[in-house]
Homo-oligomer: A and B are copies of this chain.
Amino acid sequence: MTRDAQPRDAENASLLGFRHHDHGACVADALASADARCADEGLRLTPVRRKVLELLLQEHRALGAYAILDLLRDAGFGSQPPVAYRALDFLVENGFVHKVERLNAFVACAHPGQAHSPAFMICRMCDAVAEAQSLPAKGALGAAARAAGFQIERTVVEAEGVCPTCADKADA
């Protein structure tokens, strides 16, 4: 794991959109809205699941399953891999969290509620991840899929590059 489990400070906690924002409120809001949606839809946002979501919202960056597992252990939950993976499965399945395939890591959804095809911008220097929307079925890929008779169910769109912060540093 290159991403460690500890830092929860302001610098790390504000990277997701490549810009700063009011984080405490954003975590609380997201949790509350997750509670609401689960109640609505009869989903069970159990303590482990809620804690994993909270951790990902808190950190506001992509975390590997084992980093999450460390934090779970610290919080008094089970510390074997399936504990983390099962919670993540639930959260991903229900759109609260996305998996970043390129990093084998997980990040809280930045646009919860709305159905969407997420796209990610991943900084290769600092591993910051920003979520954007993508409409992959609209472009060249969608055309190719229609031509081939392929039915798209889900898409992975991830751009690797350099975030503005790291680009500035590199210039200096």
Interface residues of A (CB under 8 A from B): 17-18, 101-102, 119, 121, 123-124, 130, 132-136, 138-141, 144-145, 148-164, 167
- A167–B133 Cα distance when bound, in Å, is 28
7 further contact pairs, Cβ within 8 A, besides A150-B159, A155-B160, A156-B157: A119-B136, A130-B148, A130-B150, A141-B157, A145-B161, A149-B163, A155-B158
Q: Is the CB of A151 within 8 A of B162?
A: yes
Query: A114 to nearest B CB, angstroms?
Result: 14
Specify which chain B residues have a CB less than 8 angstroms from the CB of A121 in the assembled complex: 141, 144-145, 148, 150, 152
Q: Is the CB of A134 within 8 A of B124?
A: no
Give 14 CB contacts A-B under 8 Å.
A121-B141, A123-B150, A130-B144, A130-B150, A132-B140, A135-B140, A139-B139, A141-B159, A149-B164, A149-B167, A150-B161, A152-B160, A154-B159, A155-B160
Specify which chain B residues have a CB less than 8 angstroms from the CB of A152 in the assembled complex: 121, 159-161
Q: Is the CB of B149 within 8 A of A160?
A: no
Q: Is the CB of A133 within 8 A of B140?
A: yes
Specify which chain B residues have a CB less than 8 angstroms from the CB of A160 in the assembled complex: 152-156
Q: Is the CB of A136 within 8 A of B157?
A: yes
Specify which chain B residues have a CB less than 8 angstroms from the CB of A138 in the assembled complex: 139
